[in-house]
Structure 1
Amino acid sequence: MSDRLHPVDVSFLSAETPNTPMHVGGLAILEPARSGLDVAGLRRRVEQRISLVPRFRQRVRWVLGGLTQPVWVDDSRFDLAYHVRRTGLPTPGSDEQLHALVGRLLAGSLDRSRPLWELYLVEGLRDGRVAVLTKSHPALVDGVGGVDLLHVLLDDSPATADGVTPIWRPAPEPGPAELMVDAATHLVRHPGQLVGAMKGAGRLLASARPAPASPLNAEPGKQRRFASTHTDLDRYRALRSRPNVTVNDAVLATVAGALRAWLLYRGEPVRPDSVIRALVPTSVRGGPPAAFGADVGANVATSLVDLPIGEPNPTVRLTQIAYAMRAHAEPGRRVGADALVKLSGFAPATLNAMAVRAASGLSRRLFNLVVTNAPGPQRPLFVAGARLREIYPFVPLAPGQGLAIGVTSYDGQVYYGLNADWDAMPDLDVLAGLLDESIDELTEAMV
């Protein structure tokens, strides 16, 4: 029988609407070798490596009547030219033009009749650089330590030789009768666990405190804005000289300082006790980090962290956040994603949709924004001979969320990718600039 989707993945699919697509992604800025990098070369490299991630040639097949979880089937009409695309900017393309293009490309939903990913080669950047924009559904990736398509495209050397392209033949797709029999068998094997799972999920939701009101909690439309910035990783590492402070604490303190300044810039009221609650997913196992730090799956623990934006002293903000994160790291204080969607593990797929949509409707009450942070490799990497210079994560917006921030580190830099609703955040570029000012303020206060 074909592989059945994990309940977490079904939850992501069920939570999607045209206004809240759940795909993740990232923007990689590349410096090509003298021979350059064109879409033909990129497709050739993808074709050579895609067998390492076979899920990227499979599509989701839903079971008739929603009796159980959908299954993965090979896409018999898989077309690499559809998935790996070429676009460009008028030379020399500015950062603002690139951000506008990224926002447009990432706003649309993925075609569910095909494998759930797209990859764009963006030409026309300054200094002969190109960009690779990835767009893939979290269902394709197994947790924070999972392997994405970009992982298998990366090399430690620009001189990596082209390999032999493996021959691929799609497996026959199961028929409706076979799917129905398998669905019935699956339900019989789990006869009495749904009620207990529903009770556990209900207790989990009931235990969460409402998040404070915030202009960040806006209902997303169909359009997106994207912005980015990056700073030296050593500046965050230096902050670890304070007791019990981690690089992740320093990142969250930087975000808190930027949000405080952004609210004041907007003329919003900021009281001494004001907080913004961030949903912070973190890995709960060892293993290779995600390239973009944006995918959430079975190996993720989530923490609800109150960022003290009312505190004017950056050092005090950092100390408060470090204390809060230590408390969440204690056993029993964090909840793995498997527990969060335990209900979905035994409910029919149609009930999954209702349960996830109901939980998503509570999101504006439970947290104000998502902030992800995944450390990346601290050495140069290459894609088809082109050196990877910059890499910015893309985190999707949940219902009721106007902003999501993805953070990753690579080769001595910390990279921020900001995704926002078009109408809710017309000043997203201001917030990106305030992140730079916030880390300046924090490091200067520590001198």
Structure 2
Amino acid sequence: MHTERLSVLDAGFLEAEDSDDHVSLAIGALAILEGPPPPMADLLKLIDERVRRVPRCTQVVKSHQWDWSAPEWITDDAFNIEHHIRRTAVASPGDEPALFRVVAELMERRLDRARPLWECWVIDGVADGRWAMLTKIHHCIADGISAGSILTQMCDGENAETFATDIRGSNTAVARHTGFAIPSLNPLHWMADSWHLSMSAVRAAYRVTTGAAEIAAGIVSPAAPLLTGPVSDLRRYSAARVRLADLDTVRKQFEVTINDVALAAITDSYRMALLRRGRDPSRNSLRTLVPVSLRSADNLHDPDNRVSVMLPLLPVEEADPVQRLLTVHTRLMTAKSSGQRQAGGAVIAGTNYVPFALSAWTVRLLTKLPQRGIVTVATNVPGPRKRLRLMDREVVSLMPVPPIALSLRTGIAIMTYAEELVFGLIGDFDADVSVDELAAGIDEGVQRLIGISLADQRLRRR
């Protein structure tokens, strides 16, 4: 019988969670739905039918003593849907602040490893006659893209199209990923091909080495003390929502990407938070972990983690909003070309070829080291292109909920849903800069760029 084992990266999320009793490494998604909520018995039956189509939802992790082999997925013969669908209520008046407090409290709780590592919380009492559902999936099962795929399979309809199809897979071909050339079969060309192959290998090795050095330097270089610190076991959650059409206006005006605009708004928010506290934003104040998908089109729905990382410095030191946006674009392009993504991918791929006991020990050691250089994580999760429905009730809003760990006191997930771009922010309860303040600052930063773009358009028409 074929045994499915966790990759080193997947198992690493379990190790990271074990390294700190204060963290829970579950990815969350908060759906607000039209009312009234369905009868609980009907919802249980429907979700039970649908999750059984996703093997990870009925499997548990089996670890081996002394880490002699990687943990593996085994079927939970005692699977019971009632262990995974829970019900609670939000305090009156059921507005967003009250709902977000419930979300924060639920995300604080770790998933039970004796059972399949996911759960859904049905939340009654949301304002305007609505209800909500918070879905939690452990990061060892999925990254943002594959978690989104699991979520859509729980909803009505099949194979809901997501914005993930817009991501260009970086691992679909050896030539694209490494730059290696494929030698000719003509013997007369072998010498020339060998030379080009050797030079390609040297360039690829140089990029990976340089990228790895940049990642290491970014982790140990101290950031603004106000923005880093230990993580407690309490959380706060908030969100900001903006129209994709408005972001597209900015994108076209300044010839950047939607992700650039989103990161520029995050940069604006952190800058204003530092200024309000009398701090002078410097170039090294906001190093940000930006996950990069390594998925290709044919494995968008596979339940696992396929990501590398970049660690750009977001330009909080730049006062001009337009220049700040352009600098974000430039720094991301530089990070992409520097080899950071390739280095992360090479390290992750390489660990799968060494004894698991050694790689597990290494990951365990790394998660114990003090991390001073990275302030936040900003992950972009492509969501459904069209509005979802569950039991024929429309999902009015869908908000991502990232985890935090390893001294990252704030995490930001950016998700596209239908015509919106949603920023979901989770933070340590005692963080100096609250997620409510950051969410409001992100909205202000987006509106500032939209206003500048529209003003520039008016000037050009004159």
TM-score, with length taken from structure 1: 0.82
- In the alignment, does 2:220 pair up with 1:217? no
C-alpha distance in structure 1 between counterparts of 2:42 and 2:96, whole Å: 25
Task: Kindly state the Cα deviation for residue 67 of structure 1 after the two structures are TM-superposed.
Answer: 0.4
Within the candidate set 411, 414, 425, 2:421 is matched to 414
Which amino acid is 2:377 matched to? V
Q: Is the Cα–Cα contact under 8 Å of residues 212 and 340 in structure 2 kept in the other structure?
A: no
C-alpha distance in structure 2 between counterparts of 1:82 and 1:265, whole Å: 46
Within the candidate set 14, 18, 23, 1:20 is matched to 23
Decide whether aligned partners of structure 1 residues 143 and 346 sit closer, same or farther in structure 2, where only a CA change above 3 A counts: farther
Q: Is the Cα–Cα contact under 8 Å of residues 201 and 342 in structure 1 kept in the other structure?
A: no
Which amino acid is 2:31 matched to? A
State the percentage of identical aligned residues: 31
Q: Is the Cα–Cα contact under 8 Å of residues 53 and 148 in structure 1 kept in the other structure?
A: no
Q: Is the Cα–Cα contact under 8 Å of residues 289 and 376 in structure 1 kept in the other structure?
A: no
Q: Paired residues, what number?
A: 399
Moved more, 11-20 or 326-335: 326-335
C-alpha distance in structure 1 between counterparts of 2:237 and 2:422, whole Å: 13
C-alpha distance in structure 1 between counterparts of 2:353 and 2:69, whole Å: 8
Q: Which residue of 1 aligns with 2:293?
A: 283
Q: Which residue of 2 aligns with 1:115?
A: 116
Which amino acid is 2:264 matched to? A
C-alpha distance in structure 2 between counterparts of 1:353 and 1:237, whole Å: 43
Which amino acid is 1:403 matched to? T
Decide whether aligned partners of structure 1 residues 45 and 322 sit closer, same or farther in structure 2, where only a CA change above 3 A counts: same
C-alpha distance in structure 1 between counterparts of 2:415 and 2:374, whole Å: 21
Q: Is the Cα–Cα contact under 8 Å of residues 215 and 340 in structure 2 kept in the other structure?
A: no
C-alpha distance in structure 1 between counterparts of 2:318 and 2:373, whole Å: 22
Q: Is the Cα–Cα contact under 8 Å of residues 14 and 352 in structure 1 kept in the other structure?
A: no
Mapping of residues 221-260 of structure 1, within 5 Å: 221-242=232-253, 244-260=255-271
SS in 1 for 2:5: coil
C-alpha distance in structure 2 between counterparts of 1:108 and 1:98, whole Å: 16
Q: Is the Cα–Cα contact under 8 Å of residues 144 and 289 in structure 1 kept in the other structure?
A: no
Q: Which residue of 1 aligns with 2:83?
A: 82
SS in 1 for 2:32: strand
C-alpha distance in structure 2 between counterparts of 1:143 and 1:410, whole Å: 13
Q: Is the Cα–Cα contact under 8 Å of residues 30 and 130 in structure 1 kept in the other structure?
A: yes
SS in 2 for 1:436: helix
- In the alignment, does 2:395 pair up with 1:405? no
Q: Which residue of 2 aligns with 1:208?
A: 216
Q: Which residue of 1 aligns with 2:181?
A: none
Which amino acid is 1:358 matched to? L
SS in 1 for 2:372: helix
Decide whether aligned partners of structure 1 residues 143 and 338 sit closer, same or farther in structure 2, where only a CA change above 3 A counts: farther
Q: Is the Cα–Cα contact under 8 Å of residues 327 and 333 in structure 1 kept in the other structure?
A: no
Task: Kindly state the Cα deviation for residue 144 of structure 1 after the two structures are TM-superposed.
Answer: 2.9
Which amino acid is 2:74 matched to? V
C-alpha distance in structure 2 between counterparts of 1:12 and 1:63, whole Å: 16
Which amino acid is 1:26 matched to? A
Could you list the runs of 5+ residues in structure 1 that have no partner in the other structure? 158-199
C-alpha distance in structure 2 between counterparts of 1:379 and 1:206, whole Å: 39
C-alpha distance in structure 2 between counterparts of 1:343 and 1:388, whole Å: 41
Q: Which residue of 1 aligns with 2:125?
A: 124
Task: Kindly state the Cα deviation for residue 299 of structure 1 after the two structures are TM-superposed.
Answer: 2.8
Q: Which residue of 2 aligns with 1:169?
A: none
TM-score, with length taken from structure 2: 0.79
- In the alignment, does 2:443 pair up with 1:436? yes
Task: Kindly state the Cα deviation for residue 348 of structure 1 after the two structures are TM-superposed.
Answer: 4.8
Q: Is the Cα–Cα contact under 8 Å of residues 219 and 402 in structure 1 kept in the other structure?
A: yes
Decide whether aligned partners of structure 1 residues 225 and 425 sit closer, same or farther in structure 2, where only a CA change above 3 A counts: farther
Q: Is the Cα–Cα contact under 8 Å of residues 56 and 303 in structure 2 kept in the other structure?
A: no
Task: Kindly state the Cα deviation for residue 418 of structure 1 after the two structures are TM-superposed.
Answer: 0.6
Q: Which residue of 2 aligns with 1:173?
A: none
Task: Kindly state the Cα deviation for residue 122 of structure 1 after the two structures are TM-superposed.
Answer: 0.3
Task: Kindly state the Cα deviation for residue 397 of structure 1 after the two structures are TM-superposed.
Answer: 1.0
Q: Is the Cα–Cα contact under 8 Å of residues 223 and 374 in structure 2 kept in the other structure?
A: no
Q: Which residue of 2 aligns with 1:445?
A: 452
Q: Deviations over 1:182-221 (max 9, x none)?
A: xxxxxxxxxxxxxxxxxx9999367632344222221101
Moved more, 309-318 or 204-213: 204-213
Decide whether aligned partners of structure 1 residues 387 and 269 sit closer, same or farther in structure 2, where only a CA change above 3 A counts: same
CA RMSD of aligned residues (A): 2.8
Q: Is the Cα–Cα contact under 8 Å of residues 289 and 375 in structure 1 kept in the other structure?
A: no
Q: Which residue of 1 aligns with 2:8?
A: 7
- In the alignment, does 2:68 pair up with 1:61? no
Structure 1 residue runs of 4 or more that deviate by more than 4 Å after TM superposition: 145-148, 200-203, 288-291, 295-298, 346-350
C-alpha distance in structure 1 between counterparts of 2:285 and 2:266, whole Å: 12
Decide whether aligned partners of structure 1 residues 425 and 150 sit closer, same or farther in structure 2, where only a CA change above 3 A counts: farther
Q: Deviations over 1:389-437 (max 9, x none)?
A: 1111111112111101011011211111111111124632122111111
SS in 2 for 1:330: helix
Decide whether aligned partners of structure 1 residues 350 and 112 sit closer, same or farther in structure 2, where only a CA change above 3 A counts: farther
C-alpha distance in structure 1 between counterparts of 2:76 and 2:334, whole Å: 46
SS in 2 for 1:306: coil
Task: Kindly state the Cα deviation for residue 149 of structure 1 after the two structures are TM-superposed.
Answer: 3.2
C-alpha distance in structure 1 between counterparts of 2:383 and 2:304, whole Å: 18
Q: Is the Cα–Cα contact under 8 Å of residues 61 and 71 in structure 1 kept in the other structure?
A: yes
Q: Is the Cα–Cα contact under 8 Å of residues 223 and 284 in structure 2 kept in the other structure?
A: no
Q: Is the Cα–Cα contact under 8 Å of residues 360 and 398 in structure 1 kept in the other structure?
A: no
Q: Which residue of 1 aligns with 2:183?
A: none
C-alpha distance in structure 2 between counterparts of 1:107 and 1:136, whole Å: 13
Which amino acid is 1:79 matched to? N
Within the candidate set 343, 346, 350, 1:339 is matched to 346
Q: Which residue of 2 aligns with 1:100?
A: 101
Q: Which residue of 2 aligns with 1:377?
A: 384
Question: Which structure has the highest helix share of the two?
Answer: 2
Q: Is the Cα–Cα contact under 8 Å of residues 22 and 397 in structure 1 kept in the other structure?
A: yes
